[in-house]
Amino acid sequence: MRATWDIFCSVVDNYGDIGVTWRLARQLVAEHGLAVRLWVDDLQAFVRLCPQADAQVLRQTQQGVEVCLWRQDWQATEPADVVIEAFACELPAAYVEAMAQRLNRPLWLNLEYLSAEEWVEGCHGLPSLQSNGLSKFFFFPGFTPGSGGLLRERELLTQRRAFQVDDCARDDFLCSLGVEPMAGALMISLFAYENAALGSWLQVLAAGLQRIQLLVPEGRILRSLQSWLGGMVLQPGDIRQRGQLHIHVLPFMSQEQYDRLLWSCDFNAVRGEDSFIRAQWAGRPLLWHIYEQADNTHLEKLDAFLRLYKEGLSADAQRALVELWHAWNNGQAIDKSWEKMLQSWPQQHEHAEEWCLQQASQADLAAALVQFYQNWL
Ligand code: TRH
């Protein structure tokens, strides 16, 4: 009998919670042949990432995953063999009770947020005894062998490389989004939270020597973009030009399309957790807008990642990268650091691919979870 897995996702805000759990659920089904239910408390958010889904039904199967609405009034449900609570969401009390009563007790995992901080390795995989006698294990994604790794589908890099060497595939894809690639243009994607630094970047892009196509899927950054453009309301499909800068507003797309967008661009500005990882798998230089936390703890996380990522770059290239990421995440002007970044451009490109290969040499998160379960049995 194939093992059953329940993944619980509470959508706090944005798309990271559902983005990570939906991706994980699909991979557990497709690559490990598991029976997976994904419990999500906000189907509207799910439908944005999986447009063919129905936000009105209680249960539906999408890409082999049984997607269930996690309702406030929880209905009795037989727990699965493996139960994942994503990002410390609180499971229904009746479900936890049923887990404790189950003849074969389930493996209970808390899938944590991504961090490159050193303490992660020490906490990854640790159990915590719960009042009902069950142990809950902490599972930490991460960038080092002592962590749980990163979500990466088996064929991802092969698909990405095939796409990146096929100019027609890229052009067709961009055209399907309403973007006509311009000769010699530098293609940049932009997915970020509202950011006061944006204006300084757009300014330097508009005034630069090279033509730029900036591709912006619908989202929070549109507010900053609109105010730079003088308050005009932007819609998907809109194109605006300022000097060398051509801005294309795109619809929010499926996760598969968003991957292709990242693969199509020379540089990707990303945010949160999942788009940040996907940009790394794209093998292209990136700019991370980290999710803001109280007491600036997010800035420590940012530096922890930079410490790992910048290794192997020349001192100048490291400085350019760190300055750019710091300024962007502090809402400070990035025009100078962007120009420094351009000076080390070929190196930044090579490095992004090397980093991607280095990360891909580690076990992926889904495989690590399956292995963890097998070891636990
Ligand atoms: O949406 P986010 O800001 O999510 C955040 C982070 O996960 C953060 O850590 C968490 O605390 C907070 O949510 C609650 O960024 P993230 O993680 O990149 O998730 C976005 C998802 O949306 C990702 O799966 C990619 C996907 N996406 C699309 O599918 N289509 C699109 O057009 C775009 C722009 C993104």
**Tens-place pLDDT, residues 90-107:** 999 999 999 999 999 999
- pTM for the full predicted model: 0.97
Q: In this structure, what DSSP letter does residue 93 have?
A: H
Report the distance separating Cα 136 and Cα 125, nearest Å.
9
Where are the domains positioned within the chain?
4-150+362-376, 156-360
Print burial letters for 283-294: b (CB count within 10 Å at least 16), e (below 16): bbbbbbbbbeee
* DSSP-based three-state secondary structure for 344: coil
Distance 13 CA to ligand 1 centre (A): 9
The amino acid sitting at 123 is C
Distance 257 CA to ligand 1 centre (A): 14
Q: How confident is the model at residue 59 (pLDDT cuts 50, 70, 90)?
A: very high
- Is 273 a catalytic site residue? yes
- Is 17 a catalytic site residue? yes
Ordered strands of the 135-139 beta sheet: 59-62, 65-69, 35-40, 4-9, 82-86, 107-111, 135-139, 127-129
Look up tokens 């997010």; give the residue: 298
Which of 275, 288, 289, 329 has most ligand 1 atoms within 8 Å of CB, for mutation? 275
pLDDT(110) > 90: yes
Q: Between the CA atoms of 171, 177, 263 and 325, what dihedral angle is there, to the nearest 10 degrees?
A: 130
Report the pocket of ligand 1 as residue ranges, CB < 6 Å. Answer: 12-17, 19, 49, 113, 191, 217, 219, 252-255, 258, 271-276, 291
Q: pLDDT at position 224, please?
A: 95
Print burial letters for 247-270: b (CB count within 10 Å at least 16), e (below 16): bbbbeebebebbbbbbbbbebbbb
The closest residue, in CA terms, to atom 3 on ligand 1 is: 272
Tokens of 318: 């490291």
Q: How confident is the model at residue 1 (pLDDT cuts 50, 70, 90)?
A: confident
Q: Look at residues 249, 245, 226 and name the one whose alpha carbon lies nearest to residue 237.
A: 249
Average pLDDT for residues 242-261, to the nearest whole number?
97
pLDDT(367) > 90: yes
Q: pLDDT at position 232, please?
A: 84
**275-331 residue pLDDT tens:** 999 999 999 999 999 999 999 999 999 999 999 999 999 999 999 999 999 999 999
Name the maximum alpha-carbon separation found in the chain.
68
Q: pLDDT at position 16, please?
A: 95
Beta strands 267-271 and 286-289, pairing class: parallel
Query: Quick check: 239 and 247 in contact, CB under 8 A?
Result: yes
Print burial letters for 25-52: b (CB count within 10 Å at least 16), e (below 16): bbbbbbebebbbbbbbbbbebbbbbbee
pLDDT(201) > 90: yes
pLDDT(2) > 90: no
Average pLDDT for residues 343-370, to the nearest whole number?
98
> What is the percent of the chain with per-residue pLDDT over 70, rounded to a whole number?
100
Average pLDDT, the chain: 97
Indicate if the alpha-carbon torsion angle 362, 365, 366, 368 is positive or negative: positive
Cα-Cα end-to-end distance for the chain? 15
Look up tokens 């027609």; give the residue: 168
Active-site residue (options: 6, 41, 42, 273):
273
Atom nearest to 49 CA in ligand 1? 29
Which of 11, 12, 13, 14 has most ligand 1 atoms within 8 Å of CB, for mutation? 14
> Tell me, which fold does domain 156-360 have in CATH?
Rossmann fold (3.40.50)
What are the CA-CA distances from residue 373 to residues 44, 83, 99, 365 (Å)?
31, 11, 16, 12
Domains 4-150+362-376 and 156-360 share a fold: yes
Q: In this structure, what DSSP letter does residue 209 have?
A: S
Query: Quick check: 16 and 272 in contact, CB under 8 A?
Result: yes
Average pLDDT for residues 160-176, to the nearest whole number?
98
Active-site residue (options: 17, 85, 112, 364):
17
**6-18 residue pLDDT tens:** 999 999 989 999 9
Report the distance separating Cα 133 and Cα 120, nearest Å.
25
Report the distance separating Cα 167 and Cα 181, nearest Å.
10
Given the candidates 1.10.10, 1.10.390, 3.40.50, 2.40.50, the CATH classification of the domain at 4-150+362-376 is 3.40.50
